[in-house]
Structure 1
């Protein structure tokens, strides 16, 4: 009888177990939890994300109710106290390394020659409330922040980092490796002149929004060939220089573009791009909302609002597990040519994690009896047989 794996097994197949073991050995991931391996931990947290289990007890009950699938997943019975201990002690670097590997795999599957490299940088708050008394208060929330670099062309998070809420966005943003030829789009929270100079020196481009107290003086007006874009209108386009004292002067060419939005006021954009048109640059900044949509999707359809532990390590691991689950959904959809929207795919995966069917048939009912061979002759035709 031919074995057919579950949807969960198919979803985890892109993870190279040998590479994962190398990550575990490199970061000593099984040092404190030798009976509950890093692989068991990873599978449990991904299951919690996709099944929307809200508590350790719920994860334990739901996972152990499908013990007939444990062998093919390479895991054993789950105990919630063991999972809680592992959440508090397992190194975050193991899951972070796996996230990086899967992100590169999404890039490989989605890469198209000639496409420009576009990177959106932003951060999203993770409120923790009074339950986590250790969490810092930044004036708005008590909790942490999720910092993400996102590639909208491939729909993939390139990097993710979780920090206390009091860490300024620019402190994380300036650690992002700069790729030559890439365009970086970010909001005015990432205003650091020295970092802008580093981007320019690396032969990359940035597009950002100017702060209200930034003093600029126009040195050359640029001719506007097109002024109307999708939902906005260009007011003016000029090359500018910073007018300030001290060591905050920018030694690079800058360009200021004023944009009037249809349903808003006027915004001022700053860039070192002297090639694109004003409408193209304004459109680039408008794409920044795609990372906001990513944050919204993850918070609504994965689980980074209710946590399986109230310590910092557990929260970091759960955020990384959510991002890994997102990447696995993207890889599964591409490898199996699933054309349905990601939202519906996530819902179907959550409802059929332990259903035995092929991934590309996830939105269709399974065959009546996939192990029974199809007849060689029509049912209404007689056939010879030996007595």
Structure 2
């Protein structure tokens, strides 16, 4: 590091850089609210160039740049790097006569900078992130009123950054709260499933009543499983194949079966994940009941249609089986209802890999 570079590093540089990262603004896309501020500054002060800069550890990045096409420069020759050393505005009315600026490449080089006025963008806890600056290639005076106006514009820049930081923090807190609620819902579902299982073992119950209670316990547990695997992701869309692999890994351990998951990698809205998970749970549980070997779960994307299939190696379906007419069990009725919720339809057939049957649900993407 040169002597010049060392001279423009603030004493609190590690803490200042932590503040820069806290605002998460580096390399973000152009923003109209910031661009309007630099355009307004250029007009207000009748200068060709106005910049909102953020001083990174090795560069000066421009959040908004009016009148100059570059998006960043090295930190070492940057006047903004010098401007953040003090909470006061950094003013050069004629850089060609300022001894401390004569060696600066922006002044001595082809760019020919002569006038610079920069106000630090200071956080509420006292760290200078960068500057709002105005630049001209002609020397010019600036009075205190205009410096005050530039300072007010810099405060507006920080107000915008604080609003964005507050919004991100609010979203983060909401996500944490939602995850905590989801965790408690999942635990409650598992608790209810355990209570139903315990109730099904009461000696005074008939076998039929005990069986129905256990079925109810299994279905509540299925909802809990889908809930757990679904809420691992917090987004508007999630990878369906990733979700199915997590869910089927759970089911394989519970059912003691080998379950393979294959298919296309594509996202589906989170509003569709829960019915997809419940369908797979019912179909895989049914396949485990009627088959002895591997269960194959496949998710395919064909044009604008998603196709979900669960295949087993059991005895196959009886002749003439039609899900809409032949379904009697609650599990198949649940799958049929869930398929209709997705504007889809369940079809059945033989396992193309050989012995057994396949259940397919196709629904629009």
TM-score by length of 2: 0.22
Structure with the bigger percentage of helix: 2
The higher relative CO (CA closer than 8 Å, separation ≥ 6) is in 1
TM-score by length of 1: 0.21
